[in-house]
């Protein structure tokens, strides 16, 4: 025999029907339908997004990155180097960015920021389905540094010449070879610290690298300003004597070697003169150097000391 319905249940159903027949009930019913539809739509979108992420056509690989609007200073070898260096910093295909990733712009900037030749990512433009057009500031060498570096064979260290940019980041010698040759880059010697490797910022406890970069800027400025009087140019910056104690400073800290072989006792650059007395600024040293170059013949091999005012009685 069938069990009779509980009068309390019937009363509850009647109250629900009565509520749904009112304006408020119709609004609640519409909201419920909308919520269910939204839930279904979100599930569909999630499934579609997962399907898209599995499709190789929307995966952004290293080959899909294109550098645009590069300045004329970036030569063909550097352009090729930009492309070659993307692979080592890019994730494997299964983990590569997808065109539809949330936060894609931020992730692309992080990946490109690890590129050893990129100083700053200016703009990232994603083109459907997977191309990325990048506008970036490219690192360029300030000077060449001669120092010890780990040999490719893994057996010890040896002397190498590597380009270094103004922030102290080591650059690839082969990539920048034409650039260095065309611009007659200054060579910095005397750095004791081991070269950290391409793409890494070179820091040392004695700050010889920082002083070498500052001295290279001095050399570049001198070469630009003295070219009008056909003076010999600065080929080498030697920071072997840096940093010197007060007692050793008289022997010189930064030495510039000119193209005719003569040596210039420059002293210390203006990067840090806090603990140095009687060191004149760049303009005074440059003017003394001009006077000495005009007064002494090229065959005079005495050092040209521009650190202090020239004594009227001292031989020029």
Q: Do both 217 and 263 map to the same domain? A: yes
**Domain range enclosing 244:** 141-305
Q: Which residue has the tokens 């040999």?
A: 151
- How far apart are alpha carbons 89 and 251 in whole angstroms? 46
Q: Do both 185 and 250 map to the same domain? A: yes
Closest CA relative to residue 59, chosen from 131, 7, 153, 141: 131
- Bigger pLDDT: 150 vs 111: 111
- How far apart are alpha carbons 251 and 22 in whole angstroms? 100
Neighbours of 96 (CB within 10 A): 18
Element (H, E) at 124: strand 118-127
**Domain assignment of residue 259, yes or no:** yes
pTM equals 0.79
DSSP 8-class letter at 12:
H
Specify the pairing of strand 65-67 against strand 131-138.
Answer: parallel
Q: Do both 188 and 287 map to the same domain? A: yes
Chain centroid, CA 252 distance in Å: 33
**Domain assignment of residue 5, yes or no:** no
pLDDT in tens, 209-244: 999 999 999 999 999 999 888 889 999 999 999 998
- How far apart are alpha carbons 309 and 288 in whole angstroms? 8
State the maximum Cα–Cα separation within the chain, in Å, rounded to a whole number.
134
Residue 174, domain CATH: 3.40.50
pLDDT at 50 over 80: no
Arithmetic mean of pLDDT, 271-281: 75
Q: Do both 273 and 196 map to the same domain? A: yes
Confidence of residue 272 (pLDDT cuts 50, 70, 90): confident
Of 138, 173, 198, the residue that ends a domain is 138
């Amino acid at each position: 025999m069938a069990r009779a319905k509980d009068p309390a249940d019937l009363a509850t159903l009647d109250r629900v029907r009565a509520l749904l027949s009112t304006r408020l009930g119709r609004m609640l019913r519409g909201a419920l339908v909308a919520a269910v539809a939204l839930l279904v739509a979100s599930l569909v979108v999630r499934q579609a997004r997962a399907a898209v992420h599995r499709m190789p056509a929307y995966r952004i690989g290293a080959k899909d990155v294109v550098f645009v609007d590069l300045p004329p200073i970036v030569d063909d070898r550097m352009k090729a180097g930009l492309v070659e260096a993307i692979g080592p910093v890019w994730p494997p295909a299964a983990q590569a960015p997808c065109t539809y990733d949330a936060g894609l712009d931020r992730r692309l900037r992080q990946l490109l920021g690890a590129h050893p030749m990129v100083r700053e990512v200016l703009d990232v433009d994603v083109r459907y389905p997977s191309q990325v057009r990048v506008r970036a500031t490219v690192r360029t060498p300030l000077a060449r540094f001669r120092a010890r570096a780990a040999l490719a064979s893994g057996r010890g260290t040896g002397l190498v010449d590597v380009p270094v940019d103004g922030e102290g980041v080591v650059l690839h010698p082969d990539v920048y070879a034409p650039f260095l040759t065309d611009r007659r880059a200054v060579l910095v010697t005397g750095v004791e610290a081991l070269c950290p490797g391409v793409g890494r910022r070179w820091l040392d406890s004695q700050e010889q690298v920082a002083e070498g970069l500052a001295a290279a800027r001095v050399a570049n400025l001198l070469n630009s300003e003295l070219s009008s009087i056909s003076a010999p140019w600065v080929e080498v910056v030697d920071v072997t004597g840096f940093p010197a104690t007060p007692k050793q400073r008289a022997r010189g800290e930064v030495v510039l070697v000119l193209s005719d072989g003569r040596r210039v006792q420059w002293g210390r650059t203006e990067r840090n003169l806090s603990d140095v007395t009687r060191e004149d600024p760049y303009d005074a040293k440059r003017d003394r150097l001009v006077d000495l170059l005009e007064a002494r013949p090229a065959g005079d091999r005495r050092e040209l000391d521009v650190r202090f005012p020239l004594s009227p009685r001292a031989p020029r």
